[in-house]
Amino acid sequence: MSPAFPVPLKPVIQPPPMVEEVLSGDERAALKARIKTLMKQQDAVLVAHYYTSADLQDLAEETGGCVSDSLEMARFGHAHPAKTLIVAGVKFMGETAKILNPEKRVVMPDLAADCSLDLACPADEFAAFCDAHPDRLSVVYANTSAAVKARADWVVTSGIAAKIVKHLHRQGHKLLWAPDRHLGDYVRRISGADMILWQGSCVVHEAFKAEALKKLRAEHPNAAVLVHPESPASVIALADVVGSTTQLIDAVRTLPHPEFIVATDNGIFHKMHAAAPGKILIEAPTAGEGATCVSCAHCPWMAMNGLRKLAAVLEKGGNEIHIEESIRARARLSIQKMLDFAADEKAGRIQLGD
């Protein structure tokens, strides 16, 4: 079925150049010590995504913060009593923290750290998409702006998208989905829901190559293939496990395989190595024949986060997230539905079966 609304065929998003922080051992130690002091003085906690640098992930854990997927980042920041939340990740993660915690100061090392999915879904175009389909509930991926979340009926992360869509489908709803076409297509296939998909994509995951992955898998017959669902369907089809970043780390920890081929941002390897020392981790291919990747297996926006920038923010101030109150309050409703659903499901109050 072709949508009545002209969904952008495939928005072209140009990622920024990859610039990763390089520190000497002494610089790293000095920066971490300074940041720890400033965090104590400012009653701050650090919440970092798995794709950020090993330095930020280590600092988060050393200071009582958390390193996690976007769902747990939202939950942890909300439950933590600190007055300042430092979000090391991309803009939508900082915005989600602010939406849930308006009374807290939410800062990020670099406010320009964006996401190709968020950029591909401007709020006015998304509103027109919804207006053209008043008979459908709108479900948006967390990788969207506060304004898009405010217009949506539901917000989901990759860790819970399939469960929520299944639930809505069972209740008889037809859906609009934005912005990730690959995750949307995956969720539509496993839920059987009637969904019209926005056509955004992740510049990192879209670059994984199925043919090269098949060859690599043949060379490593003992390896399990782990795939984040922002990847193309041809890559997902080769997966032993499809899941959010946390679900993929759990797979490395719990599966008996000695080797894993991993189709997601390679920042996750830091945590995977810690979770399962001794297991062999191999990056899924983005290069080779037909290579198109600009930021091969690493997100250039996530790489904008670093210790130097974090120290500067805590010393000089700035880089605070602000969201207009009417947008924040409406976005809160659709995020809260997801958090409530997650809590209900965990407590067995919602049964999804298979």
Instruction: Decide: is 201 part of the binding site for ligand 13P (CB under 6 A).
Output: no
Work out what residue 183 binds among ligand SF4, ligand 13P, none; the CB cut-off runs from 5 to 8 Å by kind: none
Instruction: Decide: is 206 part of the binding site for ligand 13P (CB under 6 A).
Output: no
Residues 243, 246, 252, 253, CA torsion sign: negative
SS3 63: coil
Would you list the DSSP string of 116-130?
A: HHHHT--HHHHHHHH
Work out what residue 245 binds among ligand SF4, ligand 13P, none; the CB cut-off runs from 5 to 8 Å by kind: ligand 13P
**Among 138, 157, 286, 319, which residue sits at the site for ligand 13P (rule: CB under 6 A)?**
157
CA of 151: how far to CAs of 94, 155, 215, 332, in Å? Answer: 18, 10, 44, 11
Instruction: Decide: is 244 part of the binding site for ligand 13P (CB under 6 A).
Output: yes
Q: Structure tokens of 222?
A: 């003992």
H or E element in which residue 223 lies: strand 223-227
Least separation in angstroms between CB 74 and ligand 13P: 10
**Among 140, 223, 226, 299, which residue sits at the site for ligand SF4 (rule: CB under 6 A)?**
299
Instruction: Decide: is 202 part of the binding site for ligand 13P (CB under 6 A).
Output: yes
Number of neighbours of residue 150 by Cβ within 10 angstroms: 24
Work out what residue 203 binds among ligand 13P, ligand SF4, none; the CB cut-off runs from 5 to 8 Å by kind: ligand SF4
Instruction: Decide: is 154 part of the binding site for ligand SF4 (CB under 6 A).
Output: no
- Binding to ligand SF4 in span 3-62, by CB under 6 A: none
Least separation in angstroms between CB 265 and ligand SF4: 5
Exposed / middle / buried, residue 282 (Cβ in 10 Å: 0-12, 13-18, 19+): middle
Cβ proximity to ligand 13P: between 60 and 202 the closer is 202
CA of 86: how far to CAs of 107, 132, 329, in Å? Answer: 5, 38, 21
In this structure, are residues 171 and 148 in contact, taking their beta carbons and an 8 Å threshold? no
CA-based radius of gyration for the chain: 20
Q: For residue 24, which of 311, 308, 299, 316 has the smallest C-alpha distance? A: 308
* Distance separating alpha carbons of residues 226 and 239, to the nearest angstrom: 6
**Among 73, 121, 202, 268, which residue sits at the site for ligand SF4 (rule: CB under 6 A)?**
202
Least separation in angstroms between CB 73 and ligand 13P: 8
Instruction: Decide: is 239 part of the binding site for ligand SF4 (CB under 6 A).
Output: no
SS3 324: coil
Where does this chain touch ligand 13P (CB under 6 A) — which range of 4-12, 64-72, 130-138, 232-240?
64-72
Q: Could you give the string, one character per residue 157-196, with x where binding to ligand SF4 holds by CB under 6 A and - elsewhere? A: ----------------------------------------
Instruction: Decide: is 119 part of the binding site for ligand SF4 (CB under 6 A).
Output: no
